[in-house]
Amino acid sequence: MTDDSTPISDGHSLEYRGFRFELRAEPVPGGYQPIVVVVRTPADEEETQLPNDTEEIVYGTEAEATRHAEQQAMRWVHDRTGDAQAQF
């Protein structure tokens, strides 16, 4: 059994504190842009893409963009669960 606060990621999806995300690194001129989509929440809300938080920053590799997407998803959860302390 895993702790609900332990992130479980395979690089394309992330399960964290009852929330499930799909993660992508979309090719753009000059590199990759992270894309995060919420696909399940504890309240079963509908699928929603999170806004871009990189302010036009692109990453040199798909792996870097995917890692940023994971961090963005975890920050999003912390912002909504009352735990604003980043616990990465």
For residue range 1-20, list pLDDT tens digits in order. 445 566 676 668 999 998 99
pLDDT in tens, 75-85: 999 998 876 55
> Could you tell me if 49 and 36 are in contact, meaning their C-beta atoms sit under 8 angstroms apart?
yes
Short-list 41, 83, 18, CA closest to 8: 18
Has residue 45 got a pLDDT over 90? Answer: no
What's residue 84's pLDDT?
Answer: 58
Q: For residue 1, what pLDDT is reported? A: 41
Q: Which single residue is written with the structure tokens 């395979």?
A: 10
Tell me the CA distances in angstroms from 34 to 10, 46, 52, 60, 74, one per residue in order. 15, 20, 8, 11, 14
Arithmetic mean of pLDDT over the chain: 84
15 touches 7 (CB < 8 A): yes
Q: What is the pTM of this model?
A: 0.79
